[in-house]
Amino acid sequence: MTNIAKPVDRPRRSAMYTPGANVRALEKGREVPADILILDLEDGVSPESKRSARENILRVLDEGGYGEREIGVRINGVDSEWYEEDVEAIAVSSANMIVFPKVEMVENIENLVNLMEKKNAPSEMGIWCMIETARGVLNANMIAAAHEKVEALLIGSADLTKDLRAQHLKNRMPLITSIQLCILAARANGLTILDSPFFDLTDDEGFLNSCRQGREMGFDGKTLLHPKTIDGANKIFGPSDEEIAWAGKIKAAHDAAVAEGKGVTLVDGQLIEALHVEEAQRLVRMAKLIKEMERKSD
């Protein structure tokens, strides 16, 4: 089933991974300003803690209190011994989506959807697919179009770099082709796409540069490993005051041009067409949603 391409206005600037084995972090997640929390059963949890971590996550989901945040649970991979139990448990929880690691082919999605349907998972529960291997990148478009439940793609750069036998460089040049293929797949199918984490928590400026690069390339937001990085991601991936002012300016100018029978106009020396106005207004809508979410969380 192919998704119908549509713009995604909901703010998804920051998505913080929170290990299911860390009860304090799970509870602290109710206070952090991240747009999304990804409660983790996979890489952030040791094998001996998998089942207790699942119980922790189910408990905090049942307790609620996360406000306007979207809540996802990253399950263990399809080849792991915990996969089916994870799906069966999370499918009947209040999570908004299942975050599916190392997705490589359409069959992975079909298998997950079948398990969710057997447990009568809510129809609105989505699937967010992590692209972390060469095969996953090459099949990204088919994965993105596999089922209407697929809502987002997430880049997993650590595993992808390893799979490519590439080097970990701050400019991410070895991953650029892979990243662009995933962005193309997301945009072609109307999905959100989130950038991979920045792993050096001591390099604050490097993190911000990674966010700037990600937004320039077209990502909607960034997955994060620590609460201290949330504000930076929110600022860079959210509309700035300058962008909102520019949006209003070019809309007024374009509306005036259209009224005169013109399709284009000049604003401060820049040629403005309907496509520029459309993207600017998407940012305006996002800014309004951000303010509404902040108001409700106060």
Beta bridge partners of 97: 72, 126
- Say whether both 156 and 228 belong to one domain: yes
Q: Are residues 181 and 199 in the same domain?
A: yes
Q: How does pLDDT run across 128-142, given as a tens digit for each residue?
A: 999 999 999 999 999
User: Percentage of the chain surpassing pLDDT 70?
Assistant: 97
Q: Within this chain, do residues 99 and 212 fall inside the same structural domain, yes or no?
A: yes
The answer to whether residue 180 is domain-embedded is yes
**DSSP conformational letter for 227:** G
Report pTM. Answer: 0.91
Model confidence pLDDT, tens digit, residues 231-253:
999 999 999 889 888 888 888 88
Same domain, 43 and 113: yes
Mark whether 248 and 231 lie in a shared domain. Answer: no
Full domain range(s) for residue 250 = 241-297
Give me the sign of the Cα torsion angle 223, 225, 231, 232: negative
Number of domains in the chain: 2
**CA proximity to 101, closest of 52, 60, 59, 44:** 44
Same domain, 255 and 216: no
Q: Report the CATH number that the domain containing residue 110 is assigned in CATH.
A: 3.20.20.60
* Per-residue confidence (pLDDT) for residue 8, from 0 to 100: 58
Which residue do the tokens 């504000």 mark?
A: 231
| Pairing, β 70-74 against β 36-40 | parallel
Could you tell me which residue, 284 or 156, shows the higher pLDDT?
Answer: 156
Mean pLDDT of the 26-46 span: 95
For residue 218, is pLDDT > 50? Answer: yes
145 and 211 within one domain? yes
Phi/psi of residue 197, each to 5°? Answer: -70, 160
- Domain stop point among 195, 219, 237: 237
